[in-house]
Chains A and B, each alone.
Chain A
Amino acid sequence: DSGVTQTPKHLITATGQRVTLRCSPRSGDLSVYWYQQSLDQGLQFLIQYYNGEERAKGNILERFSAQQFPDLHSELNLSSLELGDSALYFCASSAVPALVETQYFGPGTRLLVL
């Protein structure tokens, strides 16, 4: 158990819908990362938040957005869903400041868009 929790574990929805994925980082971790893992693209970095502020963006679509709240939990919002958005979505957290930082991953949310 990494200490990172994600809800829900599974999500089935229809095209065009909007969903919210939730992540609670390990106690004390200020940084939260979101990754997407699909069969054809592998693990892809989406976005990073640090202490409530966006720090880095990766291959995140404009239909997707995220935020980190004062209690440090984070939410990833996916809207206008398409079939291709079906994937595993992982959240990771890390303890900073640290010169060599390790990311701890949650169990993921499996999203299926029908």
Chain B
Amino acid sequence: DAKTTQPTSMDCAEGRAANLPCNHSTISGNEYVYWYRQIHSQGPQYIIHGLKNNETNEMASLIITEDRKSSTLILPHATLRDTAVYYCIVRVATSGGSNYKLTFGKGTLLTVNP
């Protein structure tokens, strides 16, 4: 799986959009970009994933550059509850119960300030 690079930490004001970048310059054509987050000591929580098109769900938007070498997770209106470590993970899509392990890096600690 491709390696990812994320900033160690970021701050955001409550109510503003939080834009979390991720670099995955060695991504392959069959690798998806996943985002998970972990609120202090809780289990990681799935946020969103994408291949090459921009994606949006009730939690966030994912913008992937045309060359797929980087992406940005957008939390449109950050709240204090969004303070967490955000992990960008790149992984090959598989099926049939084969190895699905997630390789977590150090992630970005997003702190949402009042």
Contact = CB atoms under 8 A, between A and B. Distances in A.
Interface string A1-13: 0101000000000
Contacts of A103: 46, 100, 102
B49 interface: yes
B99 A48 contact: yes
23 contacts: A33-B101, A42-B105, A42-B106, A43-B44, A50-B97, A51-B97, A55-B97, A55-B98, A55-B99, A56-B101, A92-B44, A92-B102, A94-B100, A96-B97, A96-B100, A97-B97, A100-B32, A100-B49, A101-B93, A101-B100, A102-B46, A102-B49, A103-B46
Contact of A43 (B42, B49, B93, B104): B104
Contact of B93 (A42, A44, A45, A100): A100
B43 A56 contact: no
Contact of A104 (B32, B46, B97): B46
Interface of B: 32, 34, 38, 41-46, 49, 87, 93-106
Contact of A108 (B43, B94, B104): B43
Contact of A2 (B43, B102, B103): B43
Q: Is the interface on chain A under 10, 10 to 19, 20 to 34, or 35 or more residues?
A: 20 to 34
Given A96-B95, A96-B96, A100-B32, A45 B102 contact: yes
Nearest to B49: A100
Interface of A: 2, 4, 30-31, 33, 35, 42-45, 48, 50-51, 55-56, 58, 88, 90, 92, 94, 96-108, 110
Pick the most buried of B32, B38, B98: most chain A CB atoms within 10 A of its CB: B98
Pick the most buried of B34, B43, B46, B105: most chain A CB atoms within 10 A of its CB: B43
A48 B103 CA distance: 13
A56 B99 contact: yes
Nearest to B101: A45
Contacts of B34: 102
Contacts of A48: 99-101
Contact of B41 (A55, A88, A100, A101): A88
